[in-house]
Amino acid sequence: MLAYIDDREAAGVASVERMRDAWKAMRAYWADLMPDAITDKLAQNYSATRRASVATIRTELGILAAALNLGERHGHIKRAPKVWRPQAPERRERHLTKAEFRAFLDACVAPHVRLYAILGVTTAARPSAILDLTWDRVDLEAGMANLNPVGRIQTAKRRPRVPLNDVAVEALRAAYDARQSIWVIERGGQKVGSIKKGFLAASERAGFKVTPYTLRHTGAVWMAEAGVPMPEIAQFLGHDDDRTTQRHYARFSPHYLRNAAGALKW
């Protein structure tokens, strides 16, 4: 496992620290087992005895499976066993109406929180991508932002190049004129490591909870509601294909199952 984590760190994967923390929790159960001893029953017992959420257990077992697969590819083990994981709970992420978003934006007092909120919806990007964004990857004339830093290897959580609409460009121009560092989201000339505290304060003022991921989900829902094709939304979100997009956002489209419903006439 440690070899796998070191390999991921060398590849520039951002979630390495999370993997190390996961292994600390997993090590007592899994460290002394040979790969060919891993069975569904063992994984199911781990799930039953591990005092953690289903999402955490799925993440930990996913890391184990990835480490075994890497071991097979590098010839360290003959065959990587398939690792059982509990079924993912259905996610029901809240999204905002446009009126709710305007109210939340009004509640964003700090300039860096307000700018993040605007970019959160208009780029529908993951929080880490927005917080890592630097001015050299923002083209205000062309209205484009490259969310993937130079040298970062694209992972399953892709960071695409996205177009910026007029609202985003206007907010970015104002921020660019007042910039004090290379970071788009900055406070006092320093990179902002987490926007959660600012969102918590704005949520309290607005009277309803909004997280950074709420805005990513909101942007995707608004695109679907506007009839944007699922493959286009998938590219905007950085999904490898539109199956994930279809699963989460197809039902918000005005065209959803309309052809099927239209066939049910006599």
> Mean pLDDT over all residues of the chain?
93
pLDDT average, residue stretch 30-50: 94
Q: What are the C-alpha distances in Å from 225 to residues 140, 220, 233, 254?
A: 27, 9, 11, 6
pTM to 2 decimal places: 0.69
- Is there a domain that residue 263 lies in? no
Confidence check: pLDDT of 36 > 70: yes
DSSP codes of every residue in 83-102: PP-PPPPPP------HHHHH
**Domain, as residue range, for 209:** 98-252
Q: Of how many residues is the chain composed? A: 266
Domains contained in the chain, number: 2
Confidence check: pLDDT of 125 > 90: yes
Instruction: Tell me, yes or no, whether 66 and 132 share the same domain.
Output: no
Instruction: Tell me, yes or no, whether 247 and 141 share the same domain.
Output: yes
Instruction: Tell me, yes or no, whether 142 and 225 share the same domain.
Output: yes
pLDDT tens by residue, 177-218: 999 999 999 999 999 999 999 999 999 999 999 999 999 999
Percent of the chain with pLDDT over 70: 98
Of the three residues 73, 89, 119, the one that is the final residue of a domain is 73
Residue 154: the pLDDT is 79
DSSP codes of every residue in 175-214: HHHT--SSBSSEETTEE-S--HHHHHHHHHHHTS---HHH
- Is there a domain that residue 45 lies in? yes
- Is there a domain that residue 6 lies in? yes
Instruction: Tell me, yes or no, whether 126 and 241 share the same domain.
Output: yes
- Is there a domain that residue 80 lies in? no
Instruction: Tell me, yes or no, whether 132 and 69 share the same domain.
Output: no
Residue 92: the pLDDT is 61
Question: CATH number, domain at 192?
Answer: 1.10.443.10
